[in-house]
Amino acid sequence: MDLSRIAALHPTHDPELRLLTLELDHGKANEISTAQLDALDFLNDLLEAQGIACLCTTSRRVSGRGTPIFISGANVSERVGWSDDRVRAHVLRQREILRRLRHAPVFTTVVTHGVSFGWGTEFLLTADYCLATPTARFALPETGLGILPGARGTAELALLVGPAHALRLGCTGEEIDTTEALRIGLVHEGVADVDAGLARVRGLAQRLCTRSPTAVAAFKRGLLAALGQPEAQRLAIEAAAYDHCVATGEAAIGRAAFSAGRADGPPAWGPRR
């Protein structure tokens, strides 16, 4: 697997688990610049192709003052001198990249142990499952810069934590810790440290290896598409996703394996379709 196009994200690939891990370590404070957006664009292409079942994004970065950092935010300083139209186009690109990442047909995780401000908090919204250490911190400072969370934060945060907490974070810029982020549902599981988080992700990746890649992708796509829809539409989306599993032959493979008792390990699933 050629990972050179996403080198700015410091990737490692475990082919046995089909697990791709990104360990962010760039710039002054893991801020997101054009170079990282280019890499994320290529990452989306990689995830939409075959070969990866699970993505984990993390960081062990620590500032000179000893502050752990996940993503400190967007690199606003690179926009100095830009026209308004160029800024809008840049943020539109961010929004589209994170939209694709949210809908990638793989199980996506984040392990954060430090500052996840602005773009960092928005990045969490792309993940299927977020783990955080006790040193993680979260905030949306954008309104103090005369803007708002524009990489899907304004559009998506309330779906995860509810409008009251979204308004509190977005309007005031208040910083919260892992305990509060767990309470409101911004993150989903606490871990002792990065290593414990990565071990947990490896365990999830091992489980994914026993599942049909087509069924996992269909489940994720159907679940996300059904959010906020009326019941009839949700059921229609579910039916279409189920029919896809049947039509691709994965359901037949699963039935045969169940009948045989899986004595020889997980079924020989087909490629993701």
pLDDT digits (tens, 9 = 90+) for 27-56: 999 999 999 999 999 999 999 998 999 999
Nearest to 141 by CA among 177, 173, 175: 173
Domain ranges of the chain: 4-208, 213-260
Residue 260 in this model has a pLDDT that exceeds 90:
no
pTM of the model: 0.95
Residue 71's pLDDT is: 97
pLDDT digits (tens, 9 = 90+) for 212-240: 999 999 999 999 999 999 999 999 999 99
Mean predicted confidence (pLDDT) in 146-175: 97
The set of residues, in sequence order, having a beta carbon less than 8 Å from that of 255 and lying 6+ positions away, is none
The pLDDT value given to residue 266? 81
- Relative to beta strand 115-117, strand 69-71 is parallel
Name the DSSP letter for residue 228.
T
What is the C-alpha separation between 111 and 187, in angstroms, rounded? 10
What pLDDT, on the 0 to 100 scale, is given for residue 135? 97
Query: For the domain bounded by 4-208, which CATH number is listed?
Result: 3.90.226.10
Residue 113 near residue 130 (C-beta atoms within 8 A) = no
Backbone torsions φ then ψ of 255, nearest 5 degrees:
-65, -40
What pLDDT score was predicted for residue 1?
83
As a whole number of angstroms, the distance between CA 169 and CA 177 comes to 12
Per-residue pLDDT for 180 more than 90?
Answer: yes
Within 13 Å, how many C-alpha atoms sit on residue 65's CB side? Answer: 6
**Residues 107, 216: contact at Cβ < 8 Å?**
yes
The total of other beta-carbon atoms located within 10 Å of residue 266's CB is: 11
54-58/19-23 β-pairing: parallel
Cα separation values, 169 from 12, 68, 117, 122, 240, Å = 33, 21, 11, 12, 37
pLDDT of the residue at 117: 97
- For residue 164, is pLDDT > 60? yes
**pLDDT score, position 264:** 66
pLDDT at 263 over 60: no
Q: Which of 81-85, 156-160, 261-265 has the lowest mean pLDDT?
A: 261-265
- For residue 256, pLDDT beyond 80: yes
pLDDT digits (tens, 9 = 90+) for 241-251: 999 999 999 99
* pLDDT for the residue 33: 95
Alpha carbon distance 141, 227 (integer Å): 28
Residue range 119-128: mean pLDDT, rounded:
97
User: Quick check: 262 pLDDT over 70?
Assistant: no
Beta-sheet strands, E only, within the chain: 11-14, 19-23, 54-58, 69-71, 107-112, 115-117, 129-132, 137-139, 176-177, 189-190
**pLDDT band per the 50, 70, 90 thresholds, residue 23:** very high
Distance of alpha carbon 132 from alpha carbon 130, whole angstroms: 7
DSSP-based three-state secondary structure for 45: helix
Over residues 70-92, mean pLDDT: 94
How many of the other CB atoms lie within 10 Å of CB of 140?
27
